[in-house]
Structure 1
């Protein structure tokens, strides 16, 4: 199924193809503060349709994940693996996806603080 999402102001927009089975709630220092519910998909299933100079990047710790955000409204619509070797994933913030009610999803709690 094709899902469409964006930041609040719409300057960063994306499409993602896949079957949404549930969400991951990570308790790492940034995900907990954002309140993100994540959906991991192979990176090649994420297509950016709008971004320009508005797409910011934030990494911390070992800098394995690039947390992407809109420089205009500050919303974090997705994150992505930055490693060059192996399979890359994108982590979609389901709170930014149109026509998805996060309260209806089963949620898996991931201990990102210990990872």
Structure 2
């Protein structure tokens, strides 16, 4: 089982930056209309393990479908490096885009979980 550690993430231009403590053991992707287009590799973490270190004033929010997820975008470069929401138990959760972690994390897409968001 992977060990939890602190990862650093950011948008493309670096205006929005964060740290997240996770083990990257439950990475996944989603085939909903949005995630499919973005090519996200998702990793969830409790909100208590996520710290936005810069760029709060540079974020804008997009909600769609059930409007339960706050998709957070950098106003400068347009990259969504994380989103906020709640898990099935109501716990505040942050979903980070593993593709936005620095240094880059190697992802074997054949081993990650696939979420059928298109039919959810």
Fold match (TM-score > 0.5): yes
Specify which of 84, 106, 111 is matched with residue 106 of structure 1.
Answer: 111
Over the aligned positions, Cα root-mean-square deviation in angstroms equals 1.9
Query: CA offsets per residue over residues 42-70 of structure 1, 9 Å max, x none?
Result: 11111000114211110001101111111
Cα distance change on mapping 1:52 and 1:22 into 2, 3 Å: closer
Count of paired positions = 114
What is the CA–CA distance in structure 2 between the aligned matches of 1:49 and 1:112, rounded to whole Å? 30
Are positions 1:41 and 2:45 aligned together?
yes
Are positions 1:26 and 2:30 aligned together?
yes
Query: CA offsets per residue over residues 77-112 of structure 1, 9 Å max, x none?
Result: 0111069x8211111000000131224783111001
Specify which of 47, 54, 57 is matched with residue 53 of structure 1.
Answer: 57
- Name 1:67's counterpart in structure 2: 71
What is the CA–CA distance in structure 2 between the aligned matches of 1:78 and 1:11, rounded to whole Å? 13
Is contact 1:22-1:105 (8 Å) kept? no
**1:32 counterpart SS class:** helix
Are positions 1:92 and 2:92 aligned together?
no
Gaps of 5+ in 2: none
Gaps of 5+ in 1: none
Cα distance change on mapping 1:9 and 1:92 into 2, 3 Å: same
- Where has structure 1 moved over 4 Å in runs of 4 or more? none
